[in-house]
Structure 1
Amino acid sequence: MTRIQHARPRPSRATDDSGPGAAATGLGAAVPGLVVLALATFSALTTEMVPVGLLPTLSRAFGVATSVAGLLVSLYAGLVAVLSVPLTWATRRLPRKPLLMACLGSYALSNAICAAAPSFAAVGPGGPWQG
């Protein structure tokens, strides 16, 4: 009986990731994009989580009850829950990079509105539109 041996394809030098410095070569052009994506994730999560820890301070600063200040977080969470799937569907054909930049611009604008808000009524419209 003859045994058939299947030859395994050998990886070419361009796709071989086993050598020293392979990580730097394989990620070279992607590193700046990954850094921007990591910073975007950090800023988005910080924007979402910081108000939770600052609720007592926000309520004192604006002269409202802590539960009323908590509505900022609840309204934001509700909008995320309701709009995440429809917005994902609606933007599915848009180029991702400009979409990410528009989202980051929205975060920046919303944070600026909230930071400069003279009253709780001015914080209300700025907070929910952060994402």
Structure 2
Amino acid sequence: MRSGELASAAGVNVQTLRYYERRGLLPQPRRSPGGHRDYDSAAVRLLRLVRAAQRLGFTLDEIAALLGAHSRRQPSSGLRGRAREKLREIDGRMAELATVRDALARVVDAECDSLTHCAEADCPLSAGELAGP
């Protein structure tokens, strides 16, 4: 299949497809006698896999490393370990978001309508817990 067909089938645009090729996430395809790129069905699966990994929070560099390990036929690509790291990162972000959510709920409950007034009054924001060091 050609570039446009592959991009459509995988749910990406052609520019993304070319970018993934330049990054080495997608192998260079065969060329037709006329010079057109000719992809097989494995390219669709690979693109979908890359997109799914991105949705899980993996960066393109991390995905490239995982795909590189797979392409070298290593017995372990490290996916499980990297997934554990992502889980720890997400747990940390969720804890931070819970803190922010709780502070916002206290602002709403305290009926703070002015940031300036809030700084002078007994407002949850003036406690400084979110201000950082």
TM beyond 0.5 = no
Higher helix proportion: 1
Q: Normalising by structure 1, report the TM-score.
A: 0.31
Larger RCO of the pair (alpha carbons < 8 Å, separation 6+)? 1
Q: Normalising by structure 2, report the TM-score.
A: 0.30
